[in-house]
Amino acid sequence: MKLKIIYVIIFLCAFVVLTYFVSNYDELNVKETFSENNSNYTMKNLKEGSDKYHIDIYYPQTIYDVLNIKIKADIQNIVSDFKNLLNEEHDKEYVLEISFDYYEYEGYISFAFNVFRQTGGAHPNTNTFTVNYDIRNNKIIDIVELTKMYPSILKVFSKVSYESLKDNDKILEYGNEEMFNKGIEEKVENFRNFVFDKNNIILFYNSYDIAPYVAGSFVVKIPYDKLENE
């Protein structure tokens, strides 16, 4: 009798352990988008879906409230726009996926969010948006704030982008001069996506920013000494 009780207890314990691991499967298998330990954030994962759509979002939860509010607001806007499309009739599964990359430079931290959407079109759409935070002054740094810090920065961005991309094979093959020149004009809307890394300000040009979709996206690195020399 005692032996049967022991077997029952062992079975129940095994069942509880198995149930725990199954219920936490997603948590235990979270994709690492930044492999190093970082004191500035922890990675969170949002998953949601049905037979008609799939959402899989990785985002940082930082130690800075102002930054968290900005990141969550931007992601929520993307999710809301995506869900509005679900009201339309569609046969294929719609997909929204977001991952991120982390950068830092002195008193600044930056995140580049990589957004993938498949909403029934001829091809999926991918784009990058960025969020930058000034730790010392507790504020978000967008392109407008950056022009206040460096009044000639649009000129630098435009000049370096031209020199970096004018001979790019994809620009030459698929682009056109008017679209390219318009996309690197000295306007704040052309340089809204940037991050601070250890050696450069990095600009992100999404599809259609300076060239057609088929050309893809582009990255331009602006060394910090370029800003000091202007």
Per-residue pLDDT tens listing for the chain (230 residues): 444 444 444 444 443 333 333 333 333 233 444 444 578 899 999 999 988 999 999 999 999 999 999 999 999 999 999 999 988 777 789 999 999 999 999 999 999 999 999 998 778 999 999 999 999 999 999 999 999 999 999 999 999 999 999 999 999 999 999 999 999 999 999 999 999 999 999 999 999 999 999 999 999 999 999 887 66
Q: What is the C-alpha radius of gyration for the chain, rounded to an integer number of angstroms?
A: 23
Q: What is the C-alpha separation between 196 and 64, in angstroms, rounded?
A: 17
Determine contact, residues 57/46, Cβ cutoff 8 Å.
yes
Give buried/exposed letters for 6-38 (b at 16+ CB in 10 A, else e). Answer: eeeeeeeeeeeeeeeeeeeeeeeeeeebeeeee
Quote the tokens at residue 37: 């330990």
Residue reference for tokens 């409230």: 65
**Strand ranges, E, within the chain:** 41-49, 53-62, 94-105, 108-118, 125-134, 139-140, 194-196, 200-205, 218-223
**Residues in the chain, overall count:** 230
- The reported pLDDT for the residue numbered 36 is 47
Q: Can you list the alpha helix ranges (DSSP code H) found in 29-134? A: 65-85
- The reported pLDDT for the residue numbered 37 is 55
Q: Helices then strands (H, E): number in the chain? A: 8, 9
Is residue 164 exposed (0-12), middle (13-18) or buried (19+ Cβ within 10 Å)? middle
Quote the tokens at residue 199: 């050696």
**Which residues partner with 98 through β-bridges?**
57, 115
CA dihedral (85, 86, 92, 94) positive or negative: positive
